[in-house]
Amino acid sequence: MSTDISTKFIVEEAKESRIHEVDFDTLLFGKEFTDHMFECDFIDGKWQTPTIRPYQPILVDPSLKVFHYGQAVFEGMKAYKDDAGQVWMFRPDQNQIRINKSAKRLAMPEFPKDWFFEALNRLLVLDDAWIRKGKGNVVYIRPFIIATEPAIMAAPSTQYKFMIILSPVKSYFRGDVSVVFAEHYSRSADGGVGAAKAAGNYAGQFYPTNLAKEMGYQQVIWTDSNEHKYLEEAGTMNAFFRINDVLITAPTSDRILDGVTRKTVIDVARREGIPVEVRKITVAEVVAAAKEGSLKEIFGAGTAVVISPVKSFSYQGVDYPINKPEKSYADLFKELITDIQYNIVEDPFGWRYKVSADNY
* Interaction between residue 186 and a copy of itself (CB under 8 A): yes
**Binding residue for a copy of itself (CB under 8 A) from 14, 125, 151, 332?**
151
Q: 33 in helix, strand or coil?
A: coil
Q: What's the rounded Cα separation, in Å, for the pair 334 and 357?
A: 30
* Interaction between residue 215 and a copy of itself (CB under 8 A): no
Q: What's the rounded Cα separation, in Å, for the pair 102 and 108?
A: 8
Q: What's the rounded Cα separation, in Å, for the pair 24 and 27?
A: 6
**Binding residue for a copy of itself (CB under 8 A) from 207, 244, 291, 323?**
207
> Do 319 and 180 form a contact (C-beta atoms < 8 A)?
no
* Interaction between residue 195 and a copy of itself (CB under 8 A): no
Cα atoms in the 13 Å half-sphere on the side-chain side of 199: 15
Q: Could you tell me if residue 293 is left (phi over 0), alpha (psi between -120 and 50 degrees) or otherwise beta?
A: left
Task: Decide whether 202 or 320 has the Cβ nearer to a copy of itself.
Answer: 202
> Do 128 and 79 form a contact (C-beta atoms < 8 A)?
no
From the list 22-30, 289-297, 309-317, 324-332, the region that binds a copy of itself by CB under 8 A is: 22-30
Minimum gap (Å) between residue 229 Cβ and a copy of itself: 12
* Interaction between residue 181 and a copy of itself (CB under 8 A): no
Task: Decide whether 91 or 161 has the Cβ nearer to a copy of itself.
Answer: 161
* Interaction between residue 141 and a copy of itself (CB under 8 A): no
* Interaction between residue 202 and a copy of itself (CB under 8 A): yes
* Interaction between residue 1 and a copy of itself (CB under 8 A): no
Residues 255-314 that bind a copy of itself (CB under 8 A): 304
> Do 84 and 133 form a contact (C-beta atoms < 8 A)?
no
* Interaction between residue 174 and a copy of itself (CB under 8 A): no
* Interaction between residue 175 and a copy of itself (CB under 8 A): no
Total site size for a copy of itself, rule CB under 8 A: 70
**Binding residue for a copy of itself (CB under 8 A) from 156, 218, 320, 359?**
156
Q: What's the rounded Cα separation, in Å, for the pair 210 and 220?
A: 10
Q: Note the Cα 344 to chain centre separation in Å.
A: 23
Minimum gap (Å) between residue 225 Cβ and a copy of itself: 4
Minimum gap (Å) between residue 259 Cβ and a copy of itself: 14
Task: Decide whether 71 or 121 has the Cβ nearer to a copy of itself.
Answer: 71
- In DSSP notation, 114-164 reads HHHHHHHHHHHHHTGGGS-BSTTEEEEEEEEEEE--B--SSS--S-EEEEE
Minimum gap (Å) between residue 130 Cβ and a copy of itself: 15
**Binding residue for a copy of itself (CB under 8 A) from 87, 199, 289, 310?**
199
**Binding residue for a copy of itself (CB under 8 A) from 3, 34, 71, 171?**
71
Look at residues 308, 96, 118 and name the one whose alpha carbon lies nearest to residue 197. Answer: 96
Q: What's the rounded Cα separation, in Å, for the pair 200 and 207?
A: 13
**Binding residue for a copy of itself (CB under 8 A) from 4, 10, 12, 28?**
28
Minimum gap (Å) between residue 354 Cβ and a copy of itself: 26
Q: Which residues contact 185 (CB under 8 A, 6 or more apart)?
A: 207, 208, 211, 220
Q: What's the rounded Cα separation, in Å, for the pair 244 and 165?
A: 42
Give phi and psi for 40, each to the nearest 5.
Answer: -150, 125
Task: Decide whether 134 or 150 has the Cβ nearer to a copy of itself.
Answer: 150
Binding site for a copy of itself (CB under 8 A): 28-31, 33, 37, 39, 55, 57-63, 66-72, 74, 104-107, 140, 142, 144, 146-147, 150-156, 163, 165, 167, 182, 184-193, 198-204, 206-208, 210, 225-226, 228, 235-236, 304
